[in-house]
């Protein structure tokens, strides 16, 4: 076998790829595993979205190459959604670029702006793709600690001047994966001022902005005056409209960043499948009331999980948004040890916080992405395991 390129050293086995193999082995032994690990919505899109996909796929001219910038009506739909939800007016031709899923764009954006030795400010814990895209471009990640004492918001003023002198990009993600933390407009205003002062591009991953509870509305970074001078926002239908496998997203904001990304993408991909784009238009412009019903289902699951964690004496904040509950593992255990024990003994699969960076060690991410009855079953099994197993009694969590 030919030796791999050195850049392959940047990529360890993806956690969920390895987990899938392990789960398959357990299931082959007849073990029923309840998966609360991956953030993939278990509910389908609304029927009118699927109908739009099928209707378009039946058209004989729908199967050819499509524009790299997407069909105009798709860009217009993104612009209309931002106007409706956030009161933000964007130019669909200059400030919107459709992506084949936001993960694609997150990896590609550093390729357009980062040279070897440049620094990218990355949250820790955070979505690992921010780091992988940075390193693939030859950049150097500088990690911003997200700590419970600061409500999992980074302390930007603590970044050393030497680092800021080499930094080009700043990644943010609110509502946050994995911590489920939210950010206020006041925090975003400080971010915009910080980016203007240090000549940074702010890349805000807003994947979970439409999954909210208890009357909370997640703001867009682009709502702030001057934000488009320094900011772009990644938005996706993967989570907001239960379309994770469809790979439909957009980069929205600064026109110069959009222009650079368009130039890059025309050399790397050939646009999306037209029926998927037309279904995405239906998703964003059609009836939105079903999202409230969907969010209520997630809220019910959240409450089932929190009730169990609190009965066990474990601390977990009440998420106002996102698909996740983030909680500290019992004393004296690593994230991986804890999740491995739950998988092997209670047959519940959770995600160790350590896969999101060193700041995630000691925590676990639980996804609300299984049917409600399965979430209830998982919580009963978890509670039974920790109450009835002598060596587990007395475990408690002391982190926020």
Lowest-confidence segment of 11-20, 60-69, 376-385 by average pLDDT: 11-20
In sequence order, the β-bridge partners of residue 82 are none
Lowest-confidence segment of 14-23, 26-35, 197-206, 310-319 by average pLDDT: 14-23
pLDDT in tens, 59-89: 999 999 999 899 999 999 999 999 999 999 9
Q: In sequence order, what DSSP letters do the residues of 233-296 get, joined into one string?
A: EEEEHHHHTS-GGG--EEEEE-HHHHHHHHHHHHHH-----HHHHHHHHHHHHS--HHHHHHHH
What pLDDT does 14 receive? 77
> Domain 6-44+289-392: which topology?
3.90.1150
pLDDT beyond 90 at 182: yes
47-285 has CATH 3.40.50.880 classification = no
pLDDT beyond 70 at 267: yes
What pLDDT does 165 receive? 96
The predicted model gives 239-245 an average pLDDT of 96
pLDDT beyond 50 at 394: no
The predicted model gives 246-274 an average pLDDT of 95
The whole-chain average pLDDT of the chain stands at 93
Q: What is the pTM of this model?
A: 0.93
pLDDT beyond 80 at 332: no
Residue % of the chain over a pLDDT of 70: 97
Residue % of the chain over a pLDDT of 90: 83
Q: How far is CA 179 from CA 328, 332, 356, in A?
A: 11, 21, 10
Sequence spans of domains, the chain: 6-44+289-392, 47-285
The predicted model gives 99-107 an average pLDDT of 96
């Amino acid at each position: 076998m030919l030796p791999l390129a050195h850049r392959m050293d940047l990529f360890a086995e993806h956690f969920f790829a390895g987990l899938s193999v392990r789960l398959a082995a357990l299931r082959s032994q007849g073990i029923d595993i309840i998966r609360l690990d991956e953030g993939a919505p278990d509910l389908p899109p609304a029927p009118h979205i699927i109908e739009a996909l099928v209707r378009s796929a039946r058209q004989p001219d729908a199967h050819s190459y499509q524009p790299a910038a997407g069909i105009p009506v798709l860009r217009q739909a993104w612009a209309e959604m931002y106007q409706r939800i956030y009161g933000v007016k964007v130019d669909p031709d200059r400030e919107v670029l459709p992506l084949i899923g936001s993960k694609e764009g997150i990896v590609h954006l550093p390729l357009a702006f980062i040279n070897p030795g440049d620094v990218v400010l990355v949250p820790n814990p955070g979505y690992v793709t921010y780091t992988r895209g940075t390193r693939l471009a030859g950049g150097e990640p500088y990690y911003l600690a997200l700590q419970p004492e600061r409500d999992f918001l980074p302390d930007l003023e603590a970044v050393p001047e030497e680092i800021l002198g080499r930094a080009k990009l700043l990644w943010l993600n609110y509502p946050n994966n994995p911590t489920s933390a939210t950010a206020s407009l006041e925090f975003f205003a400080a971010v915009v001022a910080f980016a203007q002062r240090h000549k940074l591009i702010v890349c805000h991953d807003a994947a979970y902005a439409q999954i909210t509870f208890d009357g909370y509305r997640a703001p867009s970074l682009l709502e702030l005056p001057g934000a488009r001078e320094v900011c772009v926002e990644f938005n996706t239908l993967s989570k907001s409209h239960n379309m994770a496998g469809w790979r439909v997203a957009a980069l929205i904001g600064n026109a110069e960043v959009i222009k650079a990304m368009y130039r890059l993408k025309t050399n790397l991909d050939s646009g999306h499948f037209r029926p998927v784009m037309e279904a995405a238009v239906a998703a964003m412009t059609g009836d939105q009331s079903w999202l409230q019903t969907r969010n209520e289902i997630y809220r019910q699951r959240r409450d089932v999980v929190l009730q169990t964690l609190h009965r066990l004496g474990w601390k977990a904040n009440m998420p106002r948004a996102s698909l996740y509950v983030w909680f500290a593992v019992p004393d004296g255990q690593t994230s991986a040890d804890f999740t491995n024990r739950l998988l092997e003994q209670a047959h519940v699969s959770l995600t160790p916080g350590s896969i999101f960076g060193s700041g995630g060690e000691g925590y676990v991410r639980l996804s609300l992405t299984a049917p409600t009855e399965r979430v209830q079953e998982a919580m009963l099994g978890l509670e039974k395991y920790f109450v009835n197993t002598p060596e587990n009694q007395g475990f408690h969590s002391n982190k926020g």
